[in-house]
Amino acid sequence: MINILLQTTISLNVDDWGIERFSLLAQFLSDSRDVDGKPRFSVTARNRISAGQPDPVLSTLEDSDFDEVWLFAVDTGDGLTAQDCRGLSRFRQRGGGLMVTRDHMDLGSSLCTLGGGLGAAHHFHSKNKDPDESRRRVDDPYTSSILWPNYHSGANGDFQRVHVVGAPHPVLQDPLASGGLLRFLPAHPHEGSVSAPADDPAARVILEGRSAVSGTRFNLAVAFESSQTIGPAIAQSTFHHFCDYNWDVGSGAPSFVSEAPGEGIKTFPEALRSTRHYVHNVALWLAGKLPA
């Protein structure tokens, strides 16, 4: 089996985006079976123990038996210590796969301290700003308290049509979809910003979204290919592509979420099937188990 760690950058808080709000993702991966009917993934889901102190799991990842880590940066800037970042970097240097995601404005900005190109791939309002200055502007005009980056791909609970960039990456292959490629992911009112670092030849943008407000195209996912010295990775624009509320709004959200949800995912099951297929592909690819 492939051993997966699903990990947030905050400690337990029932009124925040803790790991408990990614239970549908964890269940889907745990329920996946191979051609012989055997479980394909072993899933561990956890929050960090406490802020400001090295996390006992993240800081020692290179010594763990995990094959890949899905890191949900849901903090406001203090979610990773220097020891945690070293643990993540060494984990990838020993061949481990990483999927690293965040959200709007400065949410998850502790990712900026990650090495191996992953920190550089994530742009925030106050740190590592998008090198394209024309993109440093508000896209979501409805939630005025949230500034750029905040690409509006739709309401929570709705879906967005996605656009493949360049040669289709293996994680985007979907034989059940029209055209054989990924078509849908969950929408979110204010997605974050990612790009391929200009000095990293192993990184490229593989997927784009389009703002439902301005029509602006924005990056959804950046893939980092593996080599003999480093494992594969994906930088994703928002953790809302993976959380319970965006797969099923009936799961509920923290009390500070004020935007009215949609029903697109509920009324169009193909969008959730597409999302789950993407998750399955990413999990296999990060473990080196997805054919090119």
pLDDT at 292 over 70: no
Calculate the average pLDDT of the chain.
97
pLDDT at 193 over 70: yes
How far is residue 265 from each of residues 26, 55, 157, 247, measured CA to CA in Å? 19, 35, 6, 7
CA 40, 247, 179, 233 dihedral sign is: negative
DSSP state of 177: S
Please write the tens of the pLDDT for every residue from 56-95: 999 999 999 999 999 999 999 999 999 999 999 999 999 9
Please write the tens of the pLDDT for every residue from 199-247: 999 999 999 999 999 999 999 999 999 999 999 999 999 999 999 999 9
Domain spans of the chain, in order of start: 2-286
* Domain 2-286, CATH: 3.40.50.880
Mean pLDDT, range 160-167, rounded to an integer: 98
- Classify 193 as helix, strand or coil: strand
Please write the tens of the pLDDT for every residue from 101-151: 999 999 999 999 998 899 999 999 999 999 999 999 999 999 999 999 999
**Residue 252: CA atoms inside 13 Å, Cβ hemisphere, count?**
8
Confidence of residue 290 (pLDDT cuts 50, 70, 90): confident
Please write the tens of the pLDDT for every residue from 44-57: 999 999 988 999 99
Confidence of residue 291 (pLDDT cuts 50, 70, 90): confident
pLDDT at 163 over 90: yes
